[in-house]
C-alpha cells in the first residue's frame, strides 16, 4: 500500500495506525535480517506514536496528512534521545539531545517513525558498503548493492519496510539509491528543506529529501518537510505552492531537454562539433547502453505525451565530478573536525589531548572518511587552495551560469540517474575512483543547488530497475514532480511497486 493509501485508510478509520505499524514491524522482523536496511528499529516508539495517532482520531482531533504512515529515517538525522550514528564507530551510542527539524515536521504530520536506516559512513559513498555496521543489500537482488549513501532508506521503501523514508543527498545520495532500488527519490532545491539536525557531510551541497514507492508519495513527504526554518540560515524563506495538485497535469507543450553530456556523448554533430572531439568532446564516459536506452524511451514517452523534446548541451556538466570531489571533501574535512573525542562519541584515551584526538580519529573513522578528510585538507591548504578548492568554486560558478542559460531554452532536463543498474557487492570497493563515477549524473544538481528527482523507468538488461532523472531550475519542485508523474504513468508495466 502506498503512503497516501495508508494515510487515507487511517484517517477514514478503515485501519488503525497501530495495525499499520504492527504490519510494518512484522515485515521488518521477517525481512531485514537479509537486507540490513536498519541500524535501529524503533518498535516501541513506533507503536506509541501509532497509538497517539489512533487516540487523536478517536477524540475526533485533526491528524496530519501523513497520519499513521510508517517512515524510516536515514541515521544521519538527529532524533532526540535515540541513537544517531551516521553508521560510524565515532558516533556509536550517541543520543542527540534534540531532533532534526524534518523529524519534528514528520511527527507533526502524523508520521510514525519506524527506525534509523543504514548509510555509507557520514554519507560518504555510493553503495552503503562503507557502513561501520555492515552493508545493506538491494531488495531487488540481494547480491547487489542498494546504492548509497542513503542505501538503507531506499532499500526500506523498496522492501516495504516503510512507506516513506528520508535520505540526504550531497552528490546523488538519494537519487542514485532510488534508481538502483527502483523507487522514487528527490533532492529538493538547496534551502527548501531545513538542514537543522542533519549531521553535516558537505554543508553547501547537503539536502534532505524523500523516498517513496510512487511520485505522489514522495511529493506528499516533500510537502510535509519543506519550508522555511529559522534554525537554518541557508533555509529559503520563499512561498511554497502545494505540489500534489500538479501531478495529474500533463506535460503537453513542456520543453524537455535531453542533456547530451550526461547521455553518453557531447553535443550533437549538428551543433558544429567535429568528430575529432570524440567522446571527450563533452560526454561523460561509462553510462551503460541499457540505461541510455531507457532514458531515450523516457524522452519518447514524454514526446508522445505532448512535450517538446530536444537535445541540449551543458559543457561544464562533465566537470562536475572533479569539482565535487574537491568541494565536498574540503567542507567535510572541516565538518568532521569536531569528532575529537572531547565531548561525545568515541574517545580513545592517550597521554594528552592531542594524542587522544589522533587515536580517537584513527580508530573511529573508516577508510573512505579518512580518504576524504585528507583530500579536503589538502585542497584547502596554503599554496594549494587556489589550484584546487578555488578552481572548483569557479567551476561551480560556471555550471550555474551554463545551467541558467539552458533553462532559458527548456523547462526541465532529462538524463540518467546512475550510470548502471545495481552492481554486485564488492565490485567497486577496491577502486574509489570507479565508485565515485556513480555520481557523475547526479552531482551537477548539488553543485547548482537545483532540484532533481529519480523515477523508475523500465529495467536494464539484467532485469534490474533503471532510474531516469528529471532536473529543473531552482524552486521547480512542482514542475519536476509533474514530469516524474508523467513518466511514472508511461513507465513499462511490470512493477515498480515493492
Residues contributing to the site for another protein (CB under 8 A): 76-78, 84, 86, 91, 94, 96-98, 100, 195-200, 202-204, 230-234, 330-331, 333-334, 337-338, 340, 342-344, 353-354, 357, 377, 380-382, 385, 389
DSSP string spanning 172-210?
STTHHHHHHHTSEEEEPPTTTB--TTBPPSSTTT--EEE
Q: Smallest distance, Å, CB 385 to another protein?
A: 8
Q: Which is nearer to another protein, 221 or 380 (CB)?
A: 380
Residues 6+ away with beta carbon under 8 Å from 103: 73, 77, 78, 79, 113, 197
Least separation, in Å, of the C-beta of 272 and another protein?
38
Q: How many CA atoms lie within 13 A of 107 on its CB side?
A: 16
CA-closest candidate to residue 177, choices 189, 159, 196, 192: 159
**CA dihedral in degrees (143, 148, 151, 154; nearest 10)?**
-110
Phi-psi region of 420 (alpha: psi -120 to 50; beta: other; left: phi over 0): beta
- Closest contact distance (angstroms) between CB of 362 and another protein is 14
To another protein, the closest distance from the beta carbon of 334 in angstroms equals 5
The DSSP symbol for 299 reads H
Burial class (CB within 10 angstroms; exposed 0-12, middle 13-18, buried 19+) of 14? exposed
415 phi and psi, to 5 degrees? Answer: -165, 175
Active-site amino acid positions: 74, 149, 173
- Closest distance between another protein and the C-beta of residue 332, in Å? 11
Question: CA angle 404-191-166, nearest 5°?
Answer: 115
Are the CB atoms for 416 and 291 separated by under 8 Å? yes
Least CB distance from residue 73 to another protein, whole Å? Answer: 12
Short-list 197, 24, 10, 187, CA closest to 101:
197
Minimal distance in Å, beta carbon 211 to another protein?
A: 20
Spatial separation of the C-alpha atoms in residues 389 and 141, rounded to whole Å: 39
* Helix, strand, coil % over all residues of the chain, rounded to 5: 45, 15, 45
- Residue (392 or 455) nearer to another protein, CB: 392
Rank residues 78 and 422 by Cβ distance to another protein and give the closer one: 78
For another protein, the closer CB: 113 or 441? 113
Q: Closer to another protein at the Cβ: 223 or 333? A: 333
Q: Which is nearer to another protein, 230 or 250 (CB)?
A: 230
Beta carbon nearer to another protein, 331 or 368: 331
Taken in order 371, 376, 382, 388, the sign of the CA dihedral is positive
Closest CA to 419 of 148, 150, 176: 176
Shortest reach from residue 101's CB to another protein, in Å = 10
* Listed residue (214, 184, 182) closest to 422, CA to CA: 182
Helix (H, G, I), strand (E, B) or coil at 136: coil
Q: Which is nearer to another protein, 342 or 363 (CB)?
A: 342
Amino acid at each position: 500500500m502506498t503512503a497516501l493509501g495508508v494515510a487515507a485508510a487511517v484517517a477514514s478509520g478503515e485501519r488503525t495506525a497501530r495495525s499499520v505499524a504492527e504490519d510494518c514491524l512484522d515485515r521488518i522482523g521477517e525481512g531485514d535480517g537479509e537486507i540490513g536496511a536498519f541500524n535501529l528499529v524503533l518498535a516501541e516508539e513506533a507503536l506509541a506514536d501509532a497509538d497517539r495517532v489512533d487516540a487523536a482520531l478517536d477524540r475526533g482531533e485533526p491528524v496530519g496528512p501523513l497520519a499513521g504512515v510508517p517512515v524510516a529515517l536515514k541515521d544521519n538525522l538527529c532524533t532526540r534521545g535515540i541513537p544517531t550514528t551516521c553508521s560510524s564507530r565515532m558516533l556509536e551510542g550517541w543520543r542527540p539531545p534534540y531532533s532534526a527539524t524534518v523529524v519534528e515536521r514528520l511527527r507533526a504530520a502524523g508520521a510514525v517513525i519506524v527506525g534509523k536506516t543504514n548509510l555509507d559512513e557520514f554519507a560518504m559513498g555510493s553503495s552503503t558498503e562503507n557502513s561501520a555496521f555492515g552493508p545493506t543489500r538491494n531488495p531487488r537482488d540481494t547480491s547487489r548493492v542498494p546504492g548509497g549513501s542513503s542505501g538503507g532508506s531506499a532499500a526500506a521503501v523498496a522492501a516495504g519496510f516503510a512507506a516513506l523514508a528520508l535520505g540526504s543527498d550531497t552528490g546523488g545520495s538519494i537519487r542514485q539509491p532510488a534508481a538502483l532500488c527502483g523507487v522514487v527519490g528527490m533532492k529538493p532545491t538547496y534551502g527548501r528543506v531545513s538542514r537543522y539536525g542533519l549531521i553535516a557531510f558537505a554543508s553547501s551541497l547537503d539536502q534532505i529529501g524523500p523516498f517513496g514507492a510512487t511520485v505522489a508519495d514522495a511529493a506528499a513527504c516533500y510537502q510535509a518537510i519543506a519550508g522555511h526554518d529559522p534554525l537554518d540560515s541557508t533555509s529559503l524563506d520563499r512561498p511554497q505552492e502545494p505540489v500534489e495538485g500538479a501531478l495529474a497535469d500533463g506535460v503537453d507543450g513542456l520543453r524537455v531537454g535531453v542533456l547530451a553530456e550526461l547521455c553518453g556523448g557531447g553535443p550533437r554533430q549538428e551543433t558544429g562539433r567535429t568528430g575529432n572531439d570524440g567522446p571527450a568532446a563533452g560526454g561523460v564516459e561509462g553510462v551503460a547502453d541499457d540505461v541510455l536506452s531507457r532514458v531515450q524511451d523516457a524522452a519518447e514517452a514524454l514526446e508522445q505525451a505532448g512535450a517538446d523534446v530536444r537535445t541540449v548541451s551543458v559543457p561544464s556538466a562533465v566537470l562536475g565530478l572533479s569539482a565535487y570531489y574537491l568541494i565536498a571533501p574540503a567542507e567535510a574535512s572541516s565538518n568532521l573536525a569536531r569528532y575529537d573525542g572531547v565531548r561525545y562519541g568515541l574517545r580513545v584515551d592517550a597521554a594528552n589531548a592531542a594524542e587522544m584526538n589522533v587515536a580517537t580519529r584513527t580508530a573511529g573513522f573508516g577508510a573512505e572518511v579518512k580518504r576524504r578528510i585528507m583530500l579536503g585538507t589538502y585542497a584547502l591548504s596554503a599554496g594549494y587552495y587556489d589550484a584546487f578548492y578555488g578552481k572548483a568554486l569557479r567551476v561551480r560558478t560556471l555550471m550555474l551560469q551554463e545551467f541558467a542559460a539552458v533553462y532559458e531554452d527548456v523547462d526541465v532536463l532529462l538524463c540518467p540517474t546512475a550510470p548502471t543498474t545495481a552492481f554486485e557487492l564488492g565490485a567497486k570497493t577496491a577502486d574509489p575512483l570507479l565508485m565515485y563515477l556513480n555520481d557523475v549524473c547526479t552531482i551537477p544538481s548539488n553543485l547548482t543547488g537545483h532540484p532533481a528527482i529519480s523515477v523508475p523507468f523500465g529495467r536494464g538488461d539484467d532485469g534490474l530497475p533503471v532510474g531516469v532523472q528529471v532536473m529543473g531550475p531552482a524552486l521547480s519542485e512542482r514542475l519536476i514532480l509533474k514530469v516524474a508523474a508523467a513518466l511514472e504513468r508511461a513507465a513499462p508495466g511490470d512493477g515498480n511497486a515493492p
